[in-house]
Structure 1
Amino acid sequence: MIEFRVLPDEHPDLAFSPMLRAARLTINYAMEHGGIGLTATKAFKRDFVHWAVDHFDWPGKSAAEMFRYQRFVNEADFPPLELLHFLLIRLRFGHHFKGTFRVNHDGRVLAAHPGRLFDKLVPFFLLAMDHAAYSRSAKQAPGNWDTWLNVMNVEIENGISERQLYGTFYGEGADWDNDGWRQIGAFSGCVLKPLEWAGLITLQEAKSPAGRSAHMIFKTPLWRSALKLDTDDMVKLATRH
Protein backbone atom coordinates (compact mmCIF):
# COMPACT_ATOMS: atom_id res chain seq x y z
CA MET A 1 0.00 0.00 0.00
CA ILE A 2 1.20 3.51 -0.86
CA GLU A 3 0.25 6.44 1.34
CA PHE A 4 1.45 10.02 1.04
CA ARG A 5 1.56 12.05 4.22
CA VAL A 6 0.19 15.58 4.01
CA LEU A 7 3.10 17.80 5.05
CA PRO A 8 2.74 21.23 6.64
CA ASP A 9 3.44 24.16 4.34
CA GLU A 10 6.64 25.07 6.16
CA HIS A 11 8.12 21.55 6.01
CA PRO A 12 11.72 21.94 4.77
CA ASP A 13 11.73 18.69 2.78
CA LEU A 14 9.21 20.09 0.28
CA ALA A 15 12.13 22.03 -1.18
CA PHE A 16 13.47 18.77 -2.66
CA SER A 17 10.60 18.48 -5.18
CA PRO A 18 11.36 19.97 -8.63
CA MET A 19 7.74 19.38 -9.67
CA LEU A 20 6.36 21.33 -6.71
CA ARG A 21 8.87 24.15 -7.20
CA ALA A 22 8.06 24.44 -10.91
CA ALA A 23 4.31 24.41 -10.26
CA ARG A 24 4.54 27.22 -7.72
CA LEU A 25 6.78 29.29 -9.98
CA THR A 26 4.43 28.83 -12.93
CA ILE A 27 1.28 29.65 -10.97
CA ASN A 28 2.87 32.71 -9.35
CA TYR A 29 4.21 33.94 -12.70
CA ALA A 30 0.74 33.62 -14.24
CA MET A 31 -0.83 35.53 -11.36
CA GLU A 32 1.78 38.30 -11.44
CA HIS A 33 1.60 38.76 -15.22
CA GLY A 34 -2.14 38.35 -15.72
CA GLY A 35 -1.63 34.99 -17.43
CA ILE A 36 0.91 33.25 -19.64
CA GLY A 37 0.73 33.69 -23.39
CA LEU A 38 -0.11 30.69 -25.56
CA THR A 39 0.86 29.82 -29.11
CA ALA A 40 -1.67 28.87 -31.77
CA THR A 41 -1.24 25.24 -30.70
CA LYS A 42 -1.98 26.10 -27.03
CA ALA A 43 1.63 25.69 -25.86
CA PHE A 44 3.32 28.26 -23.62
CA LYS A 45 4.97 30.99 -25.63
CA ARG A 46 8.73 31.03 -25.94
CA ASP A 47 9.33 33.99 -23.62
CA PHE A 48 7.86 32.07 -20.70
CA VAL A 49 9.59 28.84 -21.72
CA HIS A 50 12.95 30.65 -21.56
CA TRP A 51 12.01 32.10 -18.16
CA ALA A 52 11.08 28.63 -16.93
CA VAL A 53 14.36 27.11 -18.13
CA ASP A 54 16.24 29.83 -16.22
CA HIS A 55 14.24 29.50 -13.00
CA PHE A 56 13.07 25.88 -12.58
CA ASP A 57 16.54 24.54 -11.64
CA TRP A 58 15.46 21.23 -13.15
CA PRO A 59 17.74 18.21 -12.66
CA GLY A 60 19.64 17.53 -15.88
CA LYS A 61 18.02 20.50 -17.64
CA SER A 62 20.08 23.52 -16.69
CA ALA A 63 19.84 26.69 -18.77
CA ALA A 64 23.43 26.21 -19.93
CA GLU A 65 22.62 22.73 -21.19
CA MET A 66 19.31 23.72 -22.80
CA PHE A 67 20.79 26.64 -24.72
CA ARG A 68 24.10 24.99 -25.60
CA TYR A 69 23.02 23.90 -29.07
CA GLN A 70 19.95 26.01 -29.73
CA ARG A 71 19.14 29.66 -29.39
CA PHE A 72 15.41 29.24 -28.90
CA VAL A 73 13.59 26.68 -26.78
CA ASN A 74 9.91 25.83 -27.24
CA GLU A 75 7.66 24.12 -24.71
CA ALA A 76 8.07 20.77 -26.50
CA ASP A 77 11.86 21.08 -26.13
CA PHE A 78 11.53 21.27 -22.34
CA PRO A 79 9.55 18.13 -21.35
CA PRO A 80 9.13 19.02 -17.65
CA LEU A 81 7.28 22.20 -18.58
CA GLU A 82 5.15 20.47 -21.20
CA LEU A 83 4.16 17.87 -18.61
CA LEU A 84 3.52 20.47 -15.92
CA HIS A 85 1.31 22.46 -18.31
CA PHE A 86 -0.79 19.34 -18.86
CA LEU A 87 -1.02 18.66 -15.11
CA LEU A 88 -2.11 22.19 -14.23
CA ILE A 89 -4.96 21.93 -16.73
CA ARG A 90 -5.84 18.32 -15.88
CA LEU A 91 -6.01 19.03 -12.13
CA ARG A 92 -7.97 22.24 -12.78
CA PHE A 93 -5.49 24.60 -11.21
CA GLY A 94 -5.78 26.78 -14.31
CA HIS A 95 -7.37 27.01 -17.74
CA HIS A 96 -6.89 28.49 -21.20
CA PHE A 97 -8.72 31.73 -21.85
CA LYS A 98 -8.40 34.06 -24.84
CA GLY A 99 -4.91 32.98 -25.81
CA THR A 100 -3.51 32.79 -22.29
CA PHE A 101 -3.13 30.34 -19.45
CA ARG A 102 -4.96 31.72 -16.40
CA VAL A 103 -4.81 30.44 -12.83
CA ASN A 104 -8.16 29.66 -11.23
CA HIS A 105 -9.23 29.94 -7.59
CA ASP A 106 -7.90 26.53 -6.56
CA GLY A 107 -4.54 27.25 -8.15
CA ARG A 108 -4.24 30.59 -6.36
CA VAL A 109 -5.09 29.05 -2.99
CA LEU A 110 -2.75 26.08 -3.39
CA ALA A 111 0.18 28.21 -4.55
CA ALA A 112 0.19 29.76 -1.08
CA HIS A 113 0.06 26.33 0.58
CA PRO A 114 2.92 24.18 -0.77
CA GLY A 115 2.09 21.23 1.47
CA ARG A 116 -1.41 20.98 0.08
CA LEU A 117 -0.22 21.64 -3.47
CA PHE A 118 2.29 18.80 -3.19
CA ASP A 119 -0.47 16.50 -1.94
CA LYS A 120 -2.72 17.33 -4.92
CA LEU A 121 -0.01 17.41 -7.58
CA VAL A 122 2.72 14.86 -6.89
CA PRO A 123 0.74 11.68 -6.04
CA PHE A 124 -1.36 12.22 -9.18
CA PHE A 125 1.74 12.83 -11.28
CA LEU A 126 3.54 9.81 -9.91
CA LEU A 127 0.74 7.24 -9.67
CA ALA A 128 -1.81 8.22 -12.33
CA MET A 129 0.28 9.42 -15.27
CA ASP A 130 1.38 7.24 -18.20
CA HIS A 131 5.09 7.92 -17.88
CA ALA A 132 5.94 5.91 -21.00
CA ALA A 133 4.10 8.55 -23.04
CA TYR A 134 6.83 11.14 -22.46
CA SER A 135 9.84 8.89 -21.84
CA ARG A 136 12.60 8.52 -24.39
CA SER A 137 11.99 4.79 -24.82
CA ALA A 138 8.18 5.12 -25.10
CA LYS A 139 7.97 1.66 -23.49
CA GLN A 140 6.28 0.85 -20.19
CA ALA A 141 8.31 -0.94 -17.54
CA PRO A 142 6.64 -4.14 -16.25
CA GLY A 143 5.50 -3.78 -12.67
CA ASN A 144 3.49 -1.42 -10.48
CA TRP A 145 4.17 1.40 -8.06
CA ASP A 146 3.25 -0.61 -4.97
CA THR A 147 5.98 -3.13 -5.75
CA TRP A 148 8.54 -0.60 -6.99
CA LEU A 149 8.23 1.74 -4.02
CA ASN A 150 8.12 -0.92 -1.31
CA VAL A 151 11.15 -2.77 -2.69
CA MET A 152 13.08 0.43 -3.34
CA ASN A 153 12.27 1.57 0.18
CA VAL A 154 14.60 -1.16 1.43
CA GLU A 155 17.06 -1.53 -1.44
CA ILE A 156 18.09 2.11 -1.93
CA GLU A 157 18.32 3.07 1.74
CA ASN A 158 22.11 3.20 1.58
CA GLY A 159 22.39 3.97 -2.14
CA ILE A 160 22.43 1.58 -5.10
CA SER A 161 23.44 1.74 -8.75
CA GLU A 162 20.82 1.97 -11.46
CA ARG A 163 21.95 -1.38 -12.92
CA GLN A 164 21.87 -3.12 -9.54
CA LEU A 165 18.37 -1.82 -8.81
CA TYR A 166 17.16 -2.98 -12.21
CA GLY A 167 18.65 -6.39 -11.45
CA THR A 168 16.76 -6.55 -8.16
CA PHE A 169 13.47 -6.37 -10.04
CA TYR A 170 14.20 -8.10 -13.32
CA GLY A 171 17.37 -10.18 -12.95
CA GLU A 172 21.04 -9.56 -13.64
CA GLY A 173 22.62 -9.14 -17.05
CA ALA A 174 20.99 -6.12 -18.64
CA ASP A 175 23.19 -3.06 -19.00
CA TRP A 176 23.44 0.10 -21.06
CA ASP A 177 26.12 -1.43 -23.30
CA ASN A 178 24.31 -4.66 -24.21
CA ASP A 179 20.91 -5.69 -25.58
CA GLY A 180 19.29 -4.92 -22.24
CA TRP A 181 19.63 -1.16 -22.66
CA ARG A 182 16.04 -0.80 -23.88
CA GLN A 183 14.68 -2.51 -20.77
CA ILE A 184 16.84 -0.41 -18.46
CA GLY A 185 15.78 2.67 -20.42
CA ALA A 186 12.11 1.84 -19.90
CA PHE A 187 12.67 1.34 -16.16
CA SER A 188 14.62 4.58 -15.92
CA GLY A 189 12.03 6.58 -17.86
CA CYS A 190 8.93 5.16 -16.20
CA VAL A 191 10.15 4.72 -12.62
CA LEU A 192 13.37 6.55 -11.80
CA LYS A 193 12.77 9.78 -13.72
CA PRO A 194 9.27 10.35 -12.26
CA LEU A 195 10.64 9.73 -8.76
CA GLU A 196 13.46 12.19 -9.39
CA TRP A 197 11.07 14.80 -10.79
CA ALA A 198 8.76 14.32 -7.80
CA GLY A 199 11.78 14.92 -5.54
CA LEU A 200 11.80 11.53 -3.81
CA ILE A 201 15.15 10.30 -5.13
CA THR A 202 18.32 11.84 -6.47
CA LEU A 203 20.52 10.36 -9.19
CA GLN A 204 24.22 11.05 -8.83
CA GLU A 205 26.88 10.47 -11.49
CA ALA A 206 29.46 7.84 -10.62
CA LYS A 207 31.94 5.54 -12.36
CA SER A 208 31.43 1.80 -12.64
CA PRO A 209 34.34 -0.57 -11.84
CA ALA A 210 34.99 -0.73 -15.59
CA GLY A 211 35.27 3.06 -15.75
CA ARG A 212 31.94 3.64 -17.48
CA SER A 213 29.59 6.43 -16.43
CA ALA A 214 26.86 5.19 -14.10
CA HIS A 215 24.15 6.56 -11.81
CA MET A 216 23.84 5.97 -8.09
CA ILE A 217 20.34 6.28 -6.64
CA PHE A 218 19.68 7.74 -3.20
CA LYS A 219 16.56 8.72 -1.30
CA THR A 220 16.05 12.39 -0.58
CA PRO A 221 14.75 13.45 2.85
CA LEU A 222 11.37 13.97 1.14
CA TRP A 223 11.05 10.20 0.56
CA ARG A 224 11.18 9.54 4.29
CA SER A 225 8.90 12.41 5.28
CA ALA A 226 6.26 12.06 2.53
CA LEU A 227 5.91 8.31 1.94
CA LYS A 228 4.32 5.76 4.25
CA LEU A 229 4.99 2.23 2.96
CA ASP A 230 4.42 -1.36 4.04
CA THR A 231 8.16 -2.00 4.18
CA ASP A 232 9.02 0.89 6.52
CA ASP A 233 9.69 -1.50 9.41
CA MET A 234 12.10 -3.49 7.25
CA VAL A 235 14.07 -0.33 6.49
CA LYS A 236 14.49 0.41 10.19
CA LEU A 237 15.90 -3.08 10.73
CA ALA A 238 18.19 -2.84 7.70
CA THR A 239 19.80 0.40 8.86
CA ARG A 240 21.02 -1.09 12.16
CA HIS A 241 23.67 -3.43 10.78
Structure 2
Amino acid sequence: MIEFRNLPDDHPDLAHSPLLRAAQLTLQHAHDHGAIGLTKTKAFKRVFVHWAVEHFAWPGKSAEEIFRYSKVINEYEFPPLEVLHYLLITLRLGRHFKGEFRLTKRGAELSQAPTRLFTEIIPFFVLRIDHTSYARFDDRPFGKWDVWMNVINVEADHGITERALFAAFYGEEHDWDNAGWREMAAFSSCVLRPLEWAGLLAQTAEERGGKHIHHVFKTPLWRSALRLDTDNVLQPVSVQ
Protein backbone atom coordinates (compact mmCIF):
# COMPACT_ATOMS: atom_id res chain seq x y z
CA MET A 1 0.00 0.00 0.00
CA ILE A 2 1.15 3.53 -0.82
CA GLU A 3 -0.63 6.38 0.90
CA PHE A 4 0.16 10.07 0.59
CA ARG A 5 -0.61 11.98 3.78
CA ASN A 6 -2.29 15.37 3.82
CA LEU A 7 0.14 18.02 5.00
CA PRO A 8 -0.60 21.62 5.97
CA ASP A 9 0.10 24.17 3.25
CA ASP A 10 2.94 25.70 5.27
CA HIS A 11 4.67 22.37 5.95
CA PRO A 12 8.42 23.00 5.40
CA ASP A 13 9.05 19.58 3.82
CA LEU A 14 7.04 20.54 0.73
CA ALA A 15 10.01 22.70 -0.26
CA HIS A 16 11.93 19.49 -1.09
CA SER A 17 9.79 18.83 -4.18
CA PRO A 18 11.25 20.34 -7.38
CA LEU A 19 8.17 19.32 -9.36
CA LEU A 20 5.77 20.96 -6.91
CA ARG A 21 7.84 24.16 -6.95
CA ALA A 22 7.89 24.17 -10.75
CA ALA A 23 4.14 23.62 -10.89
CA GLN A 24 3.48 26.46 -8.46
CA LEU A 25 5.74 28.82 -10.40
CA THR A 26 4.14 27.91 -13.74
CA LEU A 27 0.58 28.27 -12.48
CA GLN A 28 1.41 31.56 -10.78
CA HIS A 29 3.10 32.88 -13.92
CA ALA A 30 0.03 31.99 -16.01
CA HIS A 31 -2.19 33.66 -13.41
CA ASP A 32 -0.11 36.83 -13.23
CA HIS A 33 0.21 37.21 -17.02
CA GLY A 34 -3.19 35.89 -18.01
CA ALA A 35 -1.70 33.11 -20.13
CA ILE A 36 1.54 31.57 -21.41
CA GLY A 37 2.19 31.66 -25.15
CA LEU A 38 2.35 28.43 -27.16
CA THR A 39 4.14 27.51 -30.37
CA LYS A 40 2.30 26.06 -33.36
CA THR A 41 3.07 22.59 -31.97
CA LYS A 42 1.48 23.59 -28.63
CA ALA A 43 4.73 23.67 -26.69
CA PHE A 44 5.55 26.58 -24.41
CA LYS A 45 7.20 29.43 -26.30
CA ARG A 46 10.93 29.88 -25.83
CA VAL A 47 10.56 33.05 -23.80
CA PHE A 48 8.74 31.10 -21.10
CA VAL A 49 11.13 28.15 -21.37
CA HIS A 50 13.97 30.60 -20.72
CA TRP A 51 12.10 31.98 -17.71
CA ALA A 52 11.43 28.46 -16.39
CA VAL A 53 15.07 27.42 -16.69
CA GLU A 54 16.11 30.47 -14.66
CA HIS A 55 13.41 30.18 -11.98
CA PHE A 56 12.81 26.46 -11.44
CA ALA A 57 16.27 26.02 -9.86
CA TRP A 58 16.12 22.42 -11.01
CA PRO A 59 18.55 20.10 -9.13
CA GLY A 60 21.56 19.21 -11.26
CA LYS A 61 20.47 21.56 -14.06
CA SER A 62 21.58 25.08 -13.29
CA ALA A 63 20.62 27.80 -15.73
CA GLU A 64 24.32 28.46 -16.39
CA GLU A 65 24.87 24.83 -17.40
CA ILE A 66 21.76 24.64 -19.58
CA PHE A 67 22.59 27.86 -21.43
CA ARG A 68 26.29 27.01 -21.79
CA TYR A 69 25.97 25.71 -25.34
CA SER A 70 22.83 27.48 -26.50
CA LYS A 71 21.04 30.62 -25.40
CA VAL A 72 17.85 29.44 -27.10
CA ILE A 73 16.13 26.47 -25.43
CA ASN A 74 12.99 24.69 -26.60
CA GLU A 75 10.55 22.99 -24.26
CA TYR A 76 11.68 19.48 -25.25
CA GLU A 77 15.26 20.41 -24.35
CA PHE A 78 14.21 21.02 -20.73
CA PRO A 79 12.49 17.71 -19.83
CA PRO A 80 11.13 18.80 -16.42
CA LEU A 81 9.09 21.53 -18.10
CA GLU A 82 7.91 19.22 -20.89
CA VAL A 83 6.71 16.66 -18.32
CA LEU A 84 5.10 19.35 -16.17
CA HIS A 85 3.25 20.78 -19.19
CA TYR A 86 1.83 17.31 -19.89
CA LEU A 87 0.77 16.90 -16.26
CA LEU A 88 -0.99 20.27 -16.06
CA ILE A 89 -2.98 19.58 -19.21
CA THR A 90 -3.77 15.96 -18.35
CA LEU A 91 -4.93 16.85 -14.84
CA ARG A 92 -6.95 19.77 -16.26
CA LEU A 93 -5.16 22.42 -14.26
CA GLY A 94 -4.56 24.28 -17.50
CA ARG A 95 -5.81 24.16 -21.08
CA HIS A 96 -4.77 25.23 -24.55
CA PHE A 97 -6.95 27.97 -26.01
CA LYS A 98 -6.26 30.09 -29.08
CA GLY A 99 -2.51 29.59 -29.00
CA GLU A 100 -2.14 30.07 -25.26
CA PHE A 101 -1.89 28.01 -22.08
CA ARG A 102 -4.52 29.27 -19.64
CA LEU A 103 -5.44 28.18 -16.16
CA THR A 104 -8.67 26.38 -15.51
CA LYS A 105 -10.71 27.42 -12.50
CA ARG A 106 -9.33 24.42 -10.65
CA GLY A 107 -5.78 25.25 -11.67
CA ALA A 108 -6.18 28.77 -10.31
CA GLU A 109 -7.50 27.38 -7.02
CA LEU A 110 -4.69 24.85 -6.61
CA SER A 111 -2.02 27.42 -7.42
CA GLN A 112 -2.75 28.88 -3.98
CA ALA A 113 -2.99 25.51 -2.19
CA PRO A 114 0.42 23.76 -2.12
CA THR A 115 -0.74 20.60 -0.36
CA ARG A 116 -3.70 20.04 -2.67
CA LEU A 117 -1.45 20.70 -5.66
CA PHE A 118 1.08 18.21 -4.31
CA THR A 119 -1.50 15.48 -3.78
CA GLU A 120 -2.93 16.15 -7.24
CA ILE A 121 0.34 16.09 -9.18
CA ILE A 122 2.88 13.95 -7.33
CA PRO A 123 1.02 10.61 -6.94
CA PHE A 124 -0.15 10.82 -10.56
CA PHE A 125 3.35 11.67 -11.78
CA VAL A 126 5.13 8.95 -9.81
CA LEU A 127 2.65 6.12 -10.05
CA ARG A 128 0.72 6.56 -13.28
CA ILE A 129 2.69 8.12 -16.11
CA ASP A 130 5.06 6.24 -18.44
CA HIS A 131 8.52 7.32 -17.34
CA THR A 132 10.15 5.79 -20.42
CA SER A 133 8.50 8.56 -22.44
CA TYR A 134 11.18 11.04 -21.37
CA ALA A 135 14.00 8.59 -20.59
CA ARG A 136 17.03 8.07 -22.83
CA PHE A 137 16.10 4.46 -23.54
CA ASP A 138 12.83 2.57 -23.86
CA ASP A 139 13.81 -0.16 -21.38
CA ARG A 140 11.40 -0.69 -18.50
CA PRO A 141 12.50 -2.14 -15.17
CA PHE A 142 10.69 -5.24 -13.98
CA GLY A 143 8.55 -4.57 -10.92
CA LYS A 144 5.79 -2.36 -9.57
CA TRP A 145 5.64 0.74 -7.44
CA ASP A 146 4.22 -0.88 -4.33
CA VAL A 147 7.24 -3.18 -4.09
CA TRP A 148 9.81 -0.59 -5.16
CA MET A 149 8.70 2.02 -2.66
CA ASN A 150 8.26 -0.32 0.29
CA VAL A 151 11.73 -1.82 -0.23
CA ILE A 152 13.34 1.59 -0.79
CA ASN A 153 11.63 2.72 2.41
CA VAL A 154 13.76 0.23 4.34
CA GLU A 155 16.94 -0.01 2.27
CA ALA A 156 17.48 3.74 1.84
CA ASP A 157 16.36 4.71 5.33
CA HIS A 158 19.92 5.52 6.41
CA GLY A 159 21.30 6.01 2.89
CA ILE A 160 22.50 3.42 0.37
CA THR A 161 24.50 3.36 -2.85
CA GLU A 162 22.52 3.24 -6.06
CA ARG A 163 24.17 -0.07 -6.99
CA ALA A 164 23.38 -1.66 -3.62
CA LEU A 165 19.78 -0.52 -3.89
CA PHE A 166 19.52 -1.98 -7.39
CA ALA A 167 21.05 -5.23 -6.10
CA ALA A 168 18.33 -5.47 -3.43
CA PHE A 169 15.85 -5.93 -6.26
CA TYR A 170 17.77 -7.58 -9.08
CA GLY A 171 20.96 -9.20 -7.74
CA GLU A 172 24.63 -8.36 -7.29
CA GLU A 173 25.86 -9.22 -10.79
CA HIS A 174 24.73 -5.97 -12.42
CA ASP A 175 27.04 -2.96 -12.61
CA TRP A 176 27.62 0.09 -14.77
CA ASP A 177 30.73 -1.47 -16.36
CA ASN A 178 29.18 -4.78 -17.44
CA ALA A 179 26.22 -5.97 -19.47
CA GLY A 180 23.84 -5.07 -16.66
CA TRP A 181 24.22 -1.34 -17.19
CA ARG A 182 21.05 -1.05 -19.27
CA GLU A 183 18.94 -2.59 -16.50
CA MET A 184 20.52 -0.23 -13.98
CA ALA A 185 19.89 2.73 -16.29
CA ALA A 186 16.24 1.73 -16.66
CA PHE A 187 15.84 1.48 -12.88
CA SER A 188 17.53 4.84 -12.40
CA SER A 189 15.42 6.57 -15.06
CA CYS A 190 12.05 5.01 -14.31
CA VAL A 191 12.16 4.59 -10.52
CA LEU A 192 14.82 6.74 -8.86
CA ARG A 193 14.54 9.83 -11.06
CA PRO A 194 10.76 10.21 -10.71
CA LEU A 195 11.13 9.95 -6.94
CA GLU A 196 13.86 12.61 -7.04
CA TRP A 197 11.78 14.93 -9.21
CA ALA A 198 8.90 14.45 -6.78
CA GLY A 199 11.24 15.42 -3.93
CA LEU A 200 10.99 12.08 -2.11
CA LEU A 201 14.56 10.93 -2.76
CA ALA A 202 17.87 12.76 -3.11
CA GLN A 203 21.21 11.62 -4.46
CA THR A 204 24.79 12.61 -3.78
CA ALA A 205 27.83 11.58 -5.81
CA GLU A 206 31.47 10.95 -4.98
CA GLU A 207 34.44 9.63 -6.93
CA ARG A 208 35.99 6.48 -5.49
CA GLY A 209 38.64 4.39 -7.24
CA GLY A 210 38.01 6.13 -10.52
CA LYS A 211 34.26 5.46 -10.34
CA HIS A 212 31.39 7.80 -9.60
CA ILE A 213 29.45 6.38 -6.67
CA HIS A 214 25.89 7.61 -6.18
CA HIS A 215 24.26 7.50 -2.75
CA VAL A 216 20.48 7.51 -2.41
CA PHE A 217 18.71 9.07 0.58
CA LYS A 218 15.11 9.57 1.59
CA THR A 219 14.28 13.25 1.97
CA PRO A 220 12.31 14.66 4.91
CA LEU A 221 9.35 14.86 2.51
CA TRP A 222 9.41 11.08 2.07
CA ARG A 223 9.12 10.63 5.82
CA SER A 224 6.38 13.20 6.29
CA ALA A 225 4.27 12.62 3.15
CA LEU A 226 4.28 8.83 2.74
CA ARG A 227 2.66 6.03 4.69
CA LEU A 228 3.92 2.58 3.62
CA ASP A 229 3.48 -1.01 4.76
CA THR A 230 7.14 -1.27 5.78
CA ASP A 231 7.08 1.75 8.10
CA ASN A 232 6.74 -0.56 11.11
CA VAL A 233 10.10 -2.26 10.44
CA LEU A 234 12.16 0.93 10.23
CA GLN A 235 14.88 1.42 12.81
CA PRO A 236 15.03 4.83 14.47
CA VAL A 237 18.00 7.00 13.58
CA SER A 238 20.44 6.98 16.49
CA VAL A 239 21.54 10.36 17.82
CA GLN A 240 25.06 10.50 19.23
Alignment pair present for 1:83 and 2:80: no
Query: Aligned partners of 1:53 and 1:125: how far apart in 2?
Result: 20
Give how far 1:59 is off: 1.3
The match for 1:122 is 122
Give how far 1:215 is off: 1.0
The match for 1:187 is 187
With structure 2 as the length reference, what TM-score do the two structures score? 0.97
Alignment pair present for 1:7 and 2:7: yes
Superposed CA offset, 1:38-58 (max 9, x none): 000000000000000000011
**Aligned-partner SS, 2:234:** helix
Fraction of identical pairs, as percent:
59
Give how far 1:240 is off: 5.9
Alignment pair present for 1:178 and 2:175: no
Give how far 1:65 is off: 1.2
The match for 1:62 is 62
Query: Aligned partners of 2:94 and 2:71: how far apart in 1?
Result: 29
The match for 1:224 is 223
The match for 1:107 is 107
Bigger mean CA offset, 131-140 vs 166-175:
131-140
Q: How does 1:208-219 map to 2 (within 5 A)?
A: 208=208, 210-219=209-218
Superposed CA offset, 1:163-221 (max 9, x none): 1110110001211122111110000000000000000010111223x231121101110
- Which AA in structure 2 matches 1:201? L
User: Please, which runs of 5 or more residues in structure 2 have no aligned partner?
Assistant: none
Query: Aligned partners of 1:102 and 1:50: how far apart in 2?
Result: 19
**Aligned-partner SS, 1:195:** helix
User: Please, which runs of 5 or more residues in structure 1 have no aligned partner?
Assistant: none
With structure 1 as the length reference, what TM-score do the two structures score? 0.97
**Aligned-partner SS, 2:167:** helix
Moved over 3 A (4+): none
Query: Aligned partners of 1:214 and 1:135: how far apart in 2?
Result: 21
The match for 2:146 is 146
**Aligned residue pairs, count:** 239
Query: Aligned partners of 1:50 and 1:85: how far apart in 2?
Result: 15
The match for 1:156 is 156
Superposed CA offset, 1:39-89 (max 9, x none): 000000000000000000111211011111112110000000000000000
- Which AA in structure 2 matches 1:21? R
Query: Aligned partners of 1:84 and 1:214: how far apart in 2?
Result: 29
**Aligned-partner SS, 1:231:** helix
Superposed CA offset, 1:91-147 (max 9, x none): 000100111000011011111110111011100000001111111122111100100
Query: Aligned partners of 1:229 and 1:236: how far apart in 2?
Result: 14
Query: Aligned partners of 1:108 and 1:217: how far apart in 2?
Result: 35
- Which AA in structure 1 matches 2:69? Y
Query: Aligned partners of 1:20 and 1:240: how far apart in 2?
Result: 31
Query: Aligned partners of 2:9 and 2:70: how far apart in 1?
Result: 38
Query: Aligned partners of 1:59 and 1:141: how far apart in 2?
Result: 24
Query: Aligned partners of 1:226 and 1:60: how far apart in 2?
Result: 23
- Which AA in structure 2 matches 1:233? N
Query: Aligned partners of 1:207 and 1:170: how far apart in 2?
Result: 24
Query: Aligned partners of 1:23 and 1:121: how far apart in 2?
Result: 9
Query: Aligned partners of 1:71 and 1:115: how far apart in 2?
Result: 35
Query: Aligned partners of 2:73 and 2:95: how far apart in 1?
Result: 23
**Aligned-partner SS, 1:39:** coil
Alignment pair present for 1:133 and 2:111: no
